[in-house]
Structure 1
Amino acid sequence: MCTKQRFIGVMSGTSMDGVDTVLVEIDGNHIELIASLDYPFPEPLKQRLLAICLGQPTSLDEVGELDHLLGHLFADAVDALLKHANCDASAISAIGNHGQTVFHRPDGAAPFTMQIGDANIIATKTGIDTVADFRRKDMALGGQGAPLVPAFHQSIFATSDSSVVVLNIGGIANISVLRPEHPVIGYDTGPGNMLMDAWCAKHRQHKFDQDAQFALEGKVDKALLAQLMNEPYLSRSAPKSTGRELFNLPWLEAQLSQFTLKPHDVQRTLCEYTAITIANEVAQYQIGAEPELLVCGGGVHNPLLMSRLAELLPQWSVVTTDDKGVDSDNMEAMAFAWLAQRRLHNLPSNLPEVTGASHLASLGVLYFA
């Protein structure tokens, strides 16, 4: 394998609050962040995508047009990153593009997942080979197709005598569990920022609860919290994954139908719901005297959520991945740059013990420039 190579990772998560792009240099197992840029996600495009994600009637014409528009959006985001980093496209070995998930149903008679954003457009417009469609190979092998980042976490975070759990709090919260002398496991614990963001947008017209100001106005409603904790997904065993198909505003409003609560009390309860569903899962993996919870994703900027995690997990050191030298805001985009590197060299990039796939595979489809 060629040693030092540069890759670009592109990620737009369930929150659709921007397109995260990173430029990294990979040398063996070492990955270095060279540059990053958060590219704006057009609000009209976001609303059209949310309509599909929430199950509103659509058409092949609409899905096809969104696939096309997203391809151009992601290509423009890559070009903006290259300009920001003063880097020529010829210096990049490949782009790893996650695509925008519009539906994810890994269980049932016909499991499938759909990420859109035409990679042909990305490769052609940027002039850089592009790797996309990462999840469906794992699902073809009987896996959940998610989460895919635990393999990346395993490659960059070493364990010693104590557990290390890497927690990504995006729209959905997911964990990678690294324990000494145990196989890696990882799965979605439940909602991350998704429900809080949706409720805040409805009642405060803000995309998210800045510094938890909305939640801090309220108090936890124990009856509502108990109701939310009855969600069957929480009691399912791993491997498991979820998304906006389950945890969305209509789901929340159905849960609230028997309650009359002040909006800020609901917001505070939603923050507690995210914290408890995460902490309940993390706590069971404690090994050793110095277990660490390394947090990344947008949730690291919610001070109430971070303090509640620390309070609920008193035996754990709760820090952000920044403290370990990995930018907490760019972890997932870096993971997809790493996945592109693995695909380019035909190296395995899934973890069957995490996703439930029948065997190792090099994930992603290569679209030549």
Structure 2
Amino acid sequence: MTTTPPAAPDCYIGLMSGTSLDGVDGVVAEFGADGLAVCAHAGAAFPPALRAELLALNTPAGVDELHRASLAANGLTRVYADVVAQLLARTGLDAAAIRAIGAHGQTVRHRPGAFDGTGYTMQLNNPALLAELTGIAVAADFRSRDVAAGGQGAPLVPAFHAAVFGRAGEARAALNLGGIANLSLLPGDGTPVRGFDCGPANALLDHWCQLHRGHPFDADGAWAATGTARASLLQRLLAEPYFAQPIPKSTGRDLFHPDWLAQRLDDADRAADPADVQATLAELTARSSAEALRTHAPATRRLIVCGGGAFNGDLLRRLARHLPGVAIDSSADHGLPPQQVEAAAFAWLARQLVNGAPGNLPAVTGAHGLRVLGALYPA
């Protein structure tokens, strides 16, 4: 009698460095009959000089940008490689056990549909170098095919959120609070999953905290909690046309950057306690996210929060005040800690590419149809 040997684990690494620019998160994800299991998580902060350069490259009109961007991509890739080495060490796996690395890259421009009707999205990355440094195949450049097909190229995580957080018969949503807040609508009744970027989150909160407190972020929102939101400033911020745009839509630091905020501060705001402006920015994120959910999925009764903002107690309390009757959970309550979700999503997207399966949702991005996303750089 012969027996079929057990299938080898289907293991992928996912790497994510988001608009918050705080560093890289990575996971080893194993896919099997029971779904996805994260075997290990590792992270690395950006060296200060690299973070400053990545932030500067988000702003047009710099000097010698092509040269600087190429070298920054190499620096980013070396941080990626360090995280991969940590993950292999923690799991005891060797490179041959990993089918592919999904490496998103660092977004420095995102202008889909702009200028010539197609526009572009640009993520700094050097996947060829990452394949050389790790000896593992690398999947990268996930957004550009969706943009070429008429889509926004973002957000790409709703398909993954649907796979891991969706539940038949229950209207849910997932809110990623990274540098930008993005929302996935998981209706649970067979209608299409939708998703979009709501507006700013940690990008502006971290900027204001660094500027006035010298800290890279406001831990637990404790500083914002000491302030009082300024009603007039909040109304000026909410008057930004992006908030009223129909979906599909996506945004980033191209719009919500420090100058955007500075242009909306009046003399009274500049003279106010900086904690009041921080409280206003927290209220902006909470209110714009809550209004987006109420507008586009009013039947939602459970909101699953991930990303760095999931650790901001003040921000979560503000969300709860704006969403009475909605249960607000951490993604950890549903099997994935908040800092692992996006990295796991790019492991999932790498697997989709390797298997020749679509990675986008046209109802989310507005693309003309399902597309296999990304390019593969063999080991």
TM-score by length of 2: 0.94
Residue pair 2:113, 2:147 contacting (<8 A) in 1 also: no
Q: CA separation in 2, counterparts of 1:294 and 1:328?
A: 10
1:234 to 228, 243, 258: 243
Task: Decide whether the 8 Å contact of 1:163 with 1:285 is kept in 2.
Answer: no
Matched, 1:68 2:74: yes
State the partner residue of 2:294.
Answer: 283
Counterpart of 2:266 in 1: which secondary structure? helix
Give the CA deviation at 1:162.
Answer: 3.0
Aligned: 1:215 with 2:224: yes
On the 8 A contact 1:29/1:155 being kept in 2, the answer is no
Name segments (4+ residues, structure 1) moved above 4 Å.
Answer: 285-288
Write the letter of the residue equivalent to 2:113.
D
CA separation in 2, counterparts of 1:174 and 1:206? 24
Q: Does 1:78 align with 2:84?
A: yes
Q: Give the whole-Å Cα distance in 2 for the aligned partners of 1:79 and 1:100.
A: 20
Query: CA shift at 1:197, angstroms?
Result: 0.5
> Residues of 2 paired with 1:81 and 1:267: CA distance?
36
Counterpart secondary structure, 2:102: strand
Cα displacement (A) at 1:29: 6.9
How far apart, in 1, do the equivalents of 2:321 and 2:205 lie? 20
Deviations 1:77-100 (CA, angstroms, capped at 9, x unpaired): 211221132221111010000001
Shift of 1:56: 4.5
SS in 2 for 1:95: strand
Q: For the residues of structure 2 that align with 1:241 and 1:203, how far apart are their CA atoms?
A: 29
C-alpha separation in 2, matches of 1:92 and 1:358: 32
Q: 2:47 maps to which residue?
A: 42
Any idea what the Cα deviations from partners look like across 1:285-320, whole Å, max 9, x if unmatched? 4465x7110000000111011011111111111111
**Partners of 2:78 and 2:277 in 1: how far apart?**
38
8 Å contact from structure 1 (residues 9, 337) kept in 2: yes
8 Å CA contact retained: 1:171, 1:194: yes
Cα pair 1:115 1:133 within 8 Å, conserved: yes
Aligned equivalents of 1:313 and 1:320: distance in 2?
15
Task: Describe how 1:97-116 pairs up with structure 2 within 5 A.
Answer: 97-110=103-116, 111-116=119-124
SS at match of 1:329: helix
The equivalent of 1:121 in structure 2 is: 129
Instruction: Determine if contact 1:19/1:39 at 8 Å carries over to the other structure.
Output: yes
Unaligned runs of 5+ in 2: 1-6
What CA deviation, in whole Å up to 9, does each residue of 1:316-352 have, x standing for no partner?
1111111111221110000000000000010011001
Match of 2:63 in 1: 58
**2:167 matched to which residue of 1?**
159
Mapped partners of 2:45, 2:89: distance in 1? 15
Secondary structure in 1 matching 2:113: coil
Identical counterparts, % of pairs: 44
> Equivalents in 2 of 1:87, 1:253: separation in Å?
48
Match of 1:308 in 2: 318
The reply to whether residue 349 of structure 1 matches residue 359 of structure 2 is yes
Q: Does 1:146 align with 2:157?
A: no
Q: Tell me, yes or no, if the aligned pair for 1:162 and 1:286 is still in contact at 8 Å.
A: no
Point out where structure 1 has 5 or more consecutive residues left out of the alignment.
Answer: none
Note if contact 1:11-1:21 (Cα within 8 Å) is conserved in structure 2: yes
Q: Work out which of the residue numbers 170, 173, 176 in structure 1 matches 2:178.
A: 170
Q: Residue 113 of structure 1 aligns to which amino acid in structure 2?
A: T
- Identify the range of structure 1 (173-182 vs 127-136) with the bigger mean alpha-carbon deviation: 173-182
1:204 aligns with 2:213: yes
RMSD (Å), alpha carbons: 1.5
* 1:325 to 2:330 alignment: no
Contact 1:67 1:116 in 2 (8 A): yes
